[in-house]
């Protein structure tokens, strides 16, 4: 079986070239998949470089859009084969408007189809409309040889009324390493995934909803069994993310926590 070396990069854009803080799991490489967790303040933006198709998951808030484009330019990204908008909240799709307006070629924009009455959502749909594709649980997308992702949430039609609960949740499999990307999934999302998905174990967990206490249950952590947990939250954000209860649950499970919030060093 082909082995993959996964490089996890937490990226902070400075006045100097891109700063990468990398944590490679102990896997020998014959192919390299790099997952970049960009610092976009109180929001999510994740770039997956497979060597085949490239994918961006969320884009952070609109005010961070130009910085996100700067990250991608630093990495010499000329084309994004897939953009995933996990759900239509501003801190996830706002920055995607800048990316879609940039010189980067965009092929497909995956979304969950949920409608919200905001200007950011309206602007996003307007600029992405000819590239939009609806996703639902069970779909599988192939990015490269032995690299694919499975859609674990949402169902179509929606199982929930809550926007966060309908977040797109993806499990990326790269050889023998897996990432679980959760958007702003809630406890009810987690319960639904565990009930219908027989295997969600992943070495790296993108902690849902910026470390909110209303996600990342003990039962979910038991099912995922991550080695690393990545949390993206803005400095001095008004929500108090990440919540101490979530951090404590992660620590109780012996999970290595990586945080974007400058509250303490990585």
What pLDDT, in 10s, does the model give residues 1-35?
A: 344 445 555 543 332 223 233 333 333 343 678 89
DSSP assigned state of 145: T
- What would the DSSP string read from start to end of 62-73? GGGHHHHHHHHH
Neighbour-count burial of 123, counting CB atoms closer than 10 A to its CB (0-12 exposed, 13-18 middle, 19+ buried): middle
Residue 31 backbone dihedrals phi, psi, to 5 degrees: -135, 155
Low-confidence ranges of the chain (pLDDT < 50): 1-5, 11-30, 261-266
Provide the pLDDT for residue 3.
44
Domain CATH code at residue 13? 3.60.15.10
Provide the pLDDT for residue 263.
34
Provide the pLDDT for residue 175.
87
Residue 98 belongs to some domain of the structure: yes
Q: Which of 94, 253, 244, 93 is nearest to 264 (CA)?
A: 244
User: How many domains in the chain?
Assistant: 1
Provide the pLDDT for residue 31.
60
- What would the DSSP string read from start to end of 26-51? S---SEEEEEEEE--SSS--EEEE-S
Residue 264 belongs to some domain of the structure: no
CA distance 190 to 201: 13
Largest distance between two CA atoms of the chain: 48
Whole-prediction pTM value?
0.89
Residue 168 belongs to some domain of the structure: yes
The CA distances from residue 171 to 66, 105, 125, 177, in Å, are 28, 25, 25, 10
User: Would you say 95 and 65 are in contact if contact means Cβ atoms under 8 Å apart?
Assistant: yes
What strand order describes the sheet that includes 177-181? 140-144, 147-153, 169-174, 177-181, 204-206, 228-231, 256-259
How many C-beta atoms lie closer than 10 Å to residue 195's C-beta?
7
Residue 265 belongs to some domain of the structure: no
Range of the domain at 38: 4-259
């Amino acid at each position: 079986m082909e082995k993959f070396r996964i490089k996890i990069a937490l990226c902070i854009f400075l006045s100097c070239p891109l700063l990468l803080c990398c944590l490679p799991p102990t896997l020998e490489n014959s192919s390299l998949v790099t997952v970049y967790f960009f610092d976009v303040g109180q929001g999510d933006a994740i770039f997956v470089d497979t060597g085949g198709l490239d994918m961006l998951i969320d884009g952070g808030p609109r005010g961070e859009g130009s910085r996100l484009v700067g990250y991608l330019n630093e990495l010499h990204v000329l084309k994004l084969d897939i953009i995933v908008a996990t759900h239509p909240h501003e801190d996830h799709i706002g920055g995607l408007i800048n990316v879609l307006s940039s010189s980067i070629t965009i092929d497909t924009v995956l979304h969950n189809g949920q409608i919200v009455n905001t200007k950011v959502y309206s602007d996003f749909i307007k600029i992405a409309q000819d590239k939009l594709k609806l996703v639902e649980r069970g779909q599988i997308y192939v990015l490269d040889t032995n690299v694919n992702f499975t859609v674990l949430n949402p169902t179509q039609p929606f199982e929930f009324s809550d926007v966060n609960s309908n977040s797109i949740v993806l499990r990326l499999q790269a050889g023998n390493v897996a990432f679980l990307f959760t958007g702003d999934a809630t406890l009810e999302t987690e319960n639904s995934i565990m009930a219908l998905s027989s295997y969600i174990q992943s070495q790296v967990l993108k902690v849902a909803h910026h470390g909110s206490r209303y996600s990342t249950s003990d039962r979910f952590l038991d099912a995922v069994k991550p080695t690393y947990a990545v949390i993206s939250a803005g400095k001095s954000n008004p929500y108090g993310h990440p919540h101490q209860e979530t951090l404590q649950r992660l620590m109780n499970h012996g999970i290595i926590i990586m945080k974007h919030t400058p509250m303490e060093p990585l």
